[in-house]
Amino acid sequence: MDMHQHCVIAGGGPAGMMAGLLLARAGLRVTVLERHPDFHHDFRGDTIHPSTLQLMADLGWLDEFLALPHQKAPTLHAEMAGRQVTIADFRRLPLQCRYIAFMPQWDFLDFLARKAAAWPGFTLRMGCETTGLIRESGRVAGLTYRDGDEAGEIRADLVIGADGRQSVVRREAGLTVRDFGSAVDVLWLKLSRQPDDASPAMSHAGPQQGLVLIDRGDYWQCGYVIRKGSYDDLKGRGLPAFRTALAALAPLPAERFEEIAGWDQVHLLSIRMDRLDTWWRPGVLCIGDAAHAMSPVGGFGVNLAVQDAVAAARILAAPLRDGRLSDRDLAAVQARRMFPTRMTQGLQRMMRRKRNAQGEAAPRPPGFVRAIVRMPWLAHVMGRIIGIGFRPERVAGRG
């Protein structure tokens, strides 16, 4: 750890782990710091999109990856006017896997960590929190961290901030954020799945009047949309009222919601959508949620984070290896990834329901969604946008 690193990455999520893996694969010395002691955190984004599955195939790991527990969704559905409507169809994509895989994010990250460990230049430090940046001669030259009671620093030619929407790196680098706001938050919880439950086609149904249901095999993952900042008010009305509100929306027996015995089973996801104006400063670059926080609409966040990492590794590996990294290289990563970020966030803003001053949803879905109902072929267009994205990235070679 005392050795000077080519790159140190704050954050061991999808962007940080993929970037660390690919840079180490390119022969660089890279350290990833993850503030949690393990990857096992419920209700993190767990949609593995077809373009990410294609990356696994490009690397020669697809069969091994798909041996992990997952559910396949070749189509996504929403309930409108009491019937299931296909809003995204992946079955015509020009890729090896024509479906979304629902997989716990910790399994995805553990897989990347195991693969990254094969390269001698890769180091992963769990339970190690980034606390600040080191500056020398007008540029970032590394970062400081805390590992339990130990404080230290790692010097590197490049610091990558992949530490999420509360990024220490982007804050310490003084990068300005453009906030697009959000009128809602989401409450995530689990319910048992019984053999005779009516299953929405292909593992996913939502949004259903503010409720998302994901069939995870032996349980339902439920997302309940609420007005932003209203969680305390909802808790104040008590668990019985909460159970009743959920049961009124879900195609499940009302008694199933008696499984919610306490608020510790309910996890609040505070929704935000923002984007950095500039993703870099000399010696530092932000990617993934640290560069652009996404709403959960469409499940784009994980896929965009992974695509950012692939682009960053491809553009920066050679300059880092040769000791000639420049501001122009960092700007090239942003230039490459800004277009798909803007387009995706624009689409998410079109897809969300309009709300009144009290945060109540409009009685009808957004016009964009209603158009898919009128013109079913648009479901294939949405399948391509969600499944592949606006500027997909690829990796060369296997192993």
Instruction: State residue 199's pLDDT score.
Output: 62
Sorted by where each begins, the domain ranges of the chain are: 5-69+84-180+273-387, 184-227+229-269
Residue 276 pairs in a beta bridge with: 177
Instruction: State residue 209's pLDDT score.
Output: 52
C-alpha distance from residue 225 to each of 44, 273, 300 (Å):
16, 16, 18
Q: What is the pLDDT along the chain (399 residues), one digit of tens a residue?
A: 456 999 999 999 999 999 999 999 999 999 999 999 998 875 567 889 999 999 999 999 999 999 999 989 899 877 666 667 888 999 999 999 999 998 889 999 999 999 999 999 999 999 999 999 999 999 999 999 999 889 999 999 999 999 998 999 999 999 999 998 888 888 999 999 888 886 653 333 444 457 888 777 788 888 888 888 899 999 999 999 999 999 888 878 899 999 999 999 999 988 888 999 999 999 999 999 999 998 877 778 899 999 999 999 999 999 999 999 999 999 999 999 999 999 999 988 876 655 544 455 555 666 666 777 778 888 999 999 999 999 999 998 776
Instruction: State residue 43's pLDDT score.
Output: 57
What is the DSSP secondary structure assignment for residue 223, as one 8-state letter? E
Strands 150-161 and 284-286: parallel
Picking from 296, 90, 301, 83, the residue whose alpha carbon sits closest to that of residue 209 is 83
5-69+84-180+273-387: CATH class: alpha beta
Greatest alpha-carbon pair distance for the chain in Å reads 66
Q: How far apart are CA 229 and CA 115, in angstroms?
A: 40
Q: How many CB atoms lie within 10 A of CB 254?
A: 12
Instruction: State residue 82's pLDDT score.
Output: 63
Instruction: State residue 354's pLDDT score.
Output: 56
Structure token pair of residue 324: 């000639």
With beta carbons less than 8 A apart as the criterion, state whether 241 and 257 touch.
no
Q: How far apart are CA 14 and CA 232, in angstroms?
A: 31
